[in-house]
């Protein structure tokens, strides 16, 4: 199994940390992972994206231009990455702020109202975990228990009390994700 | 009465002066009248008197004194032009119980190495800096230095230094004295026995300050360059006293035994 | 076995430095490698191993601090990115001339000039063909994974001290910014004074004791004949390194009819292109130089008798390709494919380039 994912949105949406948690979770179940961020000035409030590859084998290129899954969280990223999903691949997006929804018919498209659900949960910071949950429902590349282990490993001790809330957010995302139809 | 023979005079009990063992027997390449020889000698004497030969590391510059390592019997590092304070910074931080000094000329310290000297002093590195200022580039053949006086003729200011063309002479020592990291800043000379004694005292203090860990000690020695100035050694000394001392007055600019934290508080207020 | 961690390449460099007994890091911030100094400052190794970490006023000061620290027989390192390395070249020439061991990390970005902060491999000439003045070489290691970023810090120091030569890790923003699994080594203590005396006691400036002559670290020789002798000595050392220290990795070369030659991040991309090519039935292999100096010339020269052509893939306008051509020595066509100025090629376009090369034979 090799899963090549791009996660793209605004800086501050937790794009990079979502990718990091996914990568950590892969490590927890003995898989090979790479996490390759876009870096530089674009990180400062502009768009941010990260390529995560989770695989059972040694990963060759950490850079790919076609993805099994694209997780898209703003319109700029939709414009840039909708076309990069492999035929038969998956596109997951949050409709909040999307003015031109995806149009491709050769891929499977899912939507998650991450912003709305996070607001309802009373903590906008859980947004990225809700989206991660939605993704893991569609493609369970890592087990939820390994995500918890990954969180434990990647978060500093003082933030460990936030782990249950994050797990709840992941479960909520799993529950709320739905197939998107044009 | 038998004539006194020379072998009767050369006796231990008659000895009034001896060359310090820190100075090697190599013949110096410096021109007659050059101040470097005297400055080398007093640095060597200080090292011997403090008994720190085994713990002293010198950093030589690019310029006439690049070969200082041939004359003082201590371990030496020879730096790229202007960078001696960077070498000394790392050396002192990695060997904090050693005595580390740089020996730099005016071109090396006040022109190409301005950034390194200012920042080493500003960090308060516990090193001693010996700054030989003769207002000219000696080694490359008498070109204008940052410290060349107004109106002074050099190979690259043949009609005399003028502000519009060359800018002004740089009082780097005054600049250094403003920095909170430095403990001791003084300006000395070596053209008379009395001046030599004072300069030696200053250098000694500079080395002793390294034990106290109170920051950088910076000792400028206003010097002559007979070849570059195209004057005899005697005339060079006279010219220095008349012109150099006016612009570069001798004396202490800063002498602080103070706690550097307090010093810093004063500085930011 | 050491601990398993998920780390960025830049962080792995810092972690490895602390674990391999490095005595001092001197650096100046520049993207995309500032995490190296940031990681060190956060870890405060001066409180644990005694390692000195200092933010210098410039890259010029940093490299000269290395000269001072290395003169004392200490394990010292710096890191920077292309424009900063350009500033250090004078110092690197001095370090090479004075035969001082040290480690320099270049996380290359696109140039020329201020260029871009995105990854590039356009500092190959600068690294392997001198860069600074005079006839000199530095040992240049090109990691292709975060694990190698970690491993090459210790290796770089080992080689530097073995030959009294600066070692350089030539990497880029892909490897520097990427996170991968790393097995970190057990921590080694810093060398004691007695160990330094044993390793570098014949030359290091640690203070002149009664039992030895004074030590002078210099690259100056005013007599041309002596300077020529010194150069002979350096060249002999470089030939020895060329014999002993060439490192490379081969990927599916056994039955290869065509060969990619690529180092660092480009090699990772080419590895994927090899897989894509093989899936299409094209017999392509990859040779990855791990040391870009000394270069795997001998092995490439052998492969030139086996394959029909070699394609050098670099994130530059074509620099390493010259070394591939020298190795192939006219036996087979050698060509170059590159994206540059901060653009990273995709495995697909690298495959397209190979297909074109095969078809056109150039």
* A vs B contact (3+ beta-carbon pairs below 8 A): no
pLDDT in tens, C40-82: 999 999 999 999 999 999 999 999 999 999 999 999 999 999 9
Cβ neighbours around C82 below 10 Å, total: 26
| A158-162, B60-64, B124-128, C293-297: least confident range | A158-162
CA distance A60 to chain C (A): 5
Cβ neighbours around B233 below 10 Å, total: 15
Strands B99-105 vs B128-133: parallel, antiparallel or unpaired = parallel
Please indicate whether, in this complex, the C-beta atoms of A62 and C347 are within 8 angstroms of each other.
no
Q: Which chains touch A (3 or more CB pairs under 8 A)?
A: C
CATH class of C248-360: alpha beta
Please indicate whether, in this complex, the C-beta atoms of A40 and C117 are within 8 angstroms of each other.
yes
CA distance C79 to chain B (A): 16
Candidates C28, C63, C72, C221: best to mutate against B (most CBs of B within 10 A) is C72
pLDDT in tens, C251-299: 999 999 999 999 999 999 999 999 999 999 999 999 999 999 999 999 9
**Tokens 């050491």 belong to residue:** C2
- Cα radius of gyration (chain B): 19
Average pLDDT of the segment spanning B7-18: 86
Average pLDDT of chain C, as a whole number = 97
Average pLDDT of chain B, as a whole number = 94
pLDDT in tens, C197-246: 999 999 999 999 999 999 999 999 999 999 999 999 999 999 999 999 99
Omega into C171 within 30° of 0, i.e. cis? no
| A22-36, B3-17, B73-87, C169-183: least confident range | B3-17
* A vs C contact (3+ beta-carbon pairs below 8 A): yes
Q: Are C151 and C15 in contact (CB under 8 A)?
A: no
Q: Which chains touch C (3 or more CB pairs under 8 A)?
A: A, B
Whether B269 has a pLDDT exceeding 70, the answer reads no
Whether B2 has a pLDDT exceeding 90, the answer reads no
- Please report, for residues B48, B204, B247, C218, the alpha-carbon distance to residue B194 in angstroms, rounded to integers and kept in the order given: 20, 15, 21, 35
| Residue C40 confidence (pLDDT) | 98
Structural domains counted in chain A: 1
How far separated are the first and last CA of chain A, in Å rounded?
30
CA atoms within 13 A on the CB side of C350: 37
Candidates B47, B75, B89, B103: best to mutate against C (most CBs of C within 10 A) is B75
| Residue B258 confidence (pLDDT) | 53
Which of A5, A2, A135, A121 is CA-nearest to residue A59?
A: A2
Q: At what angle do helices A15-28 and A127-138 cross, to 10 degrees?
A: 50
**Cα distance between residue B187 and residue B165, in whole Å:** 28
- What are the structural domains of chain B? 21-257 (3.40.50.970)
Chain C hits for A37, CB-CB cut-off 8 Å, are 177-178
Please indicate whether, in this complex, the C-beta atoms of A39 and C348 are within 8 angstroms of each other.
no
C102, β-bridge pairs: C166
- Which CATH number fits the domain that encloses residue A41? 3.40.920.10
In chain C, what are the domain boundaries? 4-193, 248-360
C4-193 and C248-360 share one fold: yes
Average pLDDT of chain A, as a whole number = 93
Cβ neighbours around C31 below 10 Å, total: 18
What domain range is A67 assigned to?
2-179
pLDDT in tens, C302-350: 999 999 999 999 999 999 999 999 999 999 999 999 999 999 999 999 9
Of A40, A60, A65, Cβ closest to residue C268: A60
CA distance C103 to chain A (A): 26
Name residues whose C-beta falls within 8 Å of residue C10's C-beta, 6 or more positions apart in sequence. C32, C33, C34, C35, C36, C39, C107, C149, C176, C177
Residue of A nearest to C178 (CA): A36
Name residues whose C-beta falls within 8 Å of residue B1's C-beta, 6 or more positions apart in sequence. none
pLDDT in tens, B231-268: 999 999 999 999 999 999 999 999 986 555 666 566 66
Average pLDDT of the segment spanning B134-159: 96
- pLDDT-derived band at C351 (thresholds 50, 70, 90) equals very high
Whether A45 has a pLDDT exceeding 70, the answer reads no
CA distance C140 to chain B (A): 23
| Domain C4-193 sits in CATH 3.40.630.30 | no
Structure tokens at B127: 């090193």
A147-154 long-range Cβ contacts below 8 angstroms, 24+ apart: A147/A21, A147/A22, A147/A25, A149/A24, A149/A25, A149/A28, A150/A21, A150/A22, A150/A23, A150/A24, A150/A25, A150/A26, A150/A27, A150/A28, A151/A21, A151/A24, A153/A24, A153/A27, A153/A28, A153/C6, A154/A20, A154/A21, A154/A24, A154/C6
What percentage of chain B exceeds 90 in pLDDT?
A: 88
Cβ neighbours around C46 below 10 Å, total: 15
- Please report, for residues A25, A175, C17, C87, C331, the alpha-carbon distance to residue A168 in angstroms, rounded to integers and kept in the order given: 16, 11, 40, 52, 64
């Amino acid at each position: 199994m090799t899963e090549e994912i791009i996660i793209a949105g605004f800086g501050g949406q937790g794009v990079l940390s979502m990718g990091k948690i996914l990568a950590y979770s892969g490590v927890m179940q003995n898989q090979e992972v790479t996490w390759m961020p876009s870096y530089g000035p674009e990180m400062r409030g502009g768009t941010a994206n990260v390529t995560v590859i989770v695989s059972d084998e040694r990963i060759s290129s950490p850079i790919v231009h076609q993805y099994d899954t694209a997780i898209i969280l703003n319109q700029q990223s939709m414009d840039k990455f909708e076309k990069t999903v492999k035929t038969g691949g998956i596109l997951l997006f949050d409709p909040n702020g999307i003015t031109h929804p995806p149009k491709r018919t050769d891929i499977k498209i899912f939507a998650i109202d991450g912003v709305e659900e996070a607001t309802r949960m009373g903590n906008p910071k859980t947004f990225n975990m809700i989206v991660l949950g939605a993704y893991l429902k569609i493609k369970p590349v890592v087990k939820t228990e390994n995500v918890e282990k990954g969180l434990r490993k990647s978060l500093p001790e003082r933030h460990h009390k936030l782990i249950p809330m994050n797990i709840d957010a992941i479960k909520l995302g799993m529950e709320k994700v739905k197939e998107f139809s044009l | 009465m038998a004539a006194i023979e020379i072998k009767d005079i050369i006796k231990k009990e008659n000895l009034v002066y001896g060359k310090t063992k820190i100075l090697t027997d190599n013949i110096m390449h410096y021109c007659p009248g050059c101040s470097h020889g005297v400055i080398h000698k007093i640095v060597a004497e200080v090292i011997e008197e403090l008994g720190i030969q085994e713990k002293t590391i010198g950093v030589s510059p690019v310029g006439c004194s690049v070969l200082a390592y041939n004359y003082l019997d201590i371990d030496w590092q020879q730096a790229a032009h202007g960078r001696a304070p960077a070498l000394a910074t790392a050396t002192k931080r990695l060997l904090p119980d050693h005595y580390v000094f740089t020996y730099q000329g005016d071109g090396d310290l006040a022109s190409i190495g301005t950034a390194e000297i200012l920042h080493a002093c500003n960090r308060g590195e516990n090193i001693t800096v010996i700054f030989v200022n003769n207002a000219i580039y000696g080694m490359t053949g008498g070109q204008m230095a940052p410290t060349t006086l107004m109106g002074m003729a050099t190979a690259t200011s043949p009609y005399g230094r003028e502000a519009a063309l060359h800018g002004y002479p740089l009082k780097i020592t005054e600049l250094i004295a403003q920095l909170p990291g430095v403990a001791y800043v003084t300006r000395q000379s070596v053209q008379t026995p009395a001046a030599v004694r004072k300069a030696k005292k200053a250098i000694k203090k500079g080395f002793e300050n390294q034990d106290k860990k109170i920051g950088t000690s910076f000792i400028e020695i206003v010097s002559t360059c007979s070849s570059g100035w195209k004057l005899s050694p005697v005339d060079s000394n006279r010219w220095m006293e008349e012109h150099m001392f006016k612009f570069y007055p001798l004396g202490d600019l800063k002498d602080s035994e103070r706690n550097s934290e307090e010093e810093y508080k004063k500085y930011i207020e | 076995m050491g601990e398993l961690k998920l780390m960025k390449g830049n962080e792995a460099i810092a972690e490895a430095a602390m674990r391999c007994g490095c005595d001092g890091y001197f650096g100046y911030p520049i993207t995309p490698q500032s995490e190296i100094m940031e990681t060190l400052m956060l870890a405060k190794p001066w409180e644990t191993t005694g390692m000195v970490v200092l933010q210098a006023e410039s890259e010029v000061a940093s490299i000269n601090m290395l000269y001072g620290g290395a003169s004392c027989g200490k394990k010292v390192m710096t890191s920077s990115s292309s424009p900063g390395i350009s500033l250090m070249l004078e110092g690197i020439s001095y370090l090479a001339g004075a035969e001082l061991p040290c480690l320099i990390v270049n996380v290359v970005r696109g140039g020329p000039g201020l260029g871009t902060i995105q990854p590039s491999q356009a500092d190959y000439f600068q690294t392997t063909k001198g860069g600074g003045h005079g006839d000199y070489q530095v040992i240049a290691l090109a990691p292709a994974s975060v694990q190698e970023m970690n491993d090459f810090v210790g290796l770089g120091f080992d080689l530097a001290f073995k030959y009294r030569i600066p070692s350089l890790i030539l990497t880029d923003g892909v490897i520097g910014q990427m996170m991968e699994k790393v097995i970190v080594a057990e921590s080694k203590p810093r060398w004691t004074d007695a160990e330094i005396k044993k390793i570098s006691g014949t030359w290091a400036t640690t203070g002149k004791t009664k039992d030895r002559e004074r030590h002078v670290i210099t690259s100056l020789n005013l007599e041309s004949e002596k300077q020529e002798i010194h150069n002979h000595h350096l060249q002999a050392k470089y030939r020895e390194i060329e014999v002993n220290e060439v490192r490379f990795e081969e990927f599916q070369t056994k039955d290869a009819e065509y060969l990619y030659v690529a180092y660092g991040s480009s090699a990772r991309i080419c590895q994927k292109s090899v897989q894509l090519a093989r899936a299409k039935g094209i017999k392509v292999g990859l040779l990855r130089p791990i040391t870009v100096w000394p270069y795997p010339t001998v092995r490439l020269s052998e492969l030139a008798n086996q394959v029909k052509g070699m394609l050098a893939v670099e994130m530059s306008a074509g620099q390493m390709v010259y070394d591939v051509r020298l190795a192939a020595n006219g036996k087979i066509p050698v060509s170059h494919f590159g994206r540059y100025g901060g653009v990273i090629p995709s495995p697909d376009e690298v495959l397209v380039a190979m297909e074109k090369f095969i078809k056109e034979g150039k």
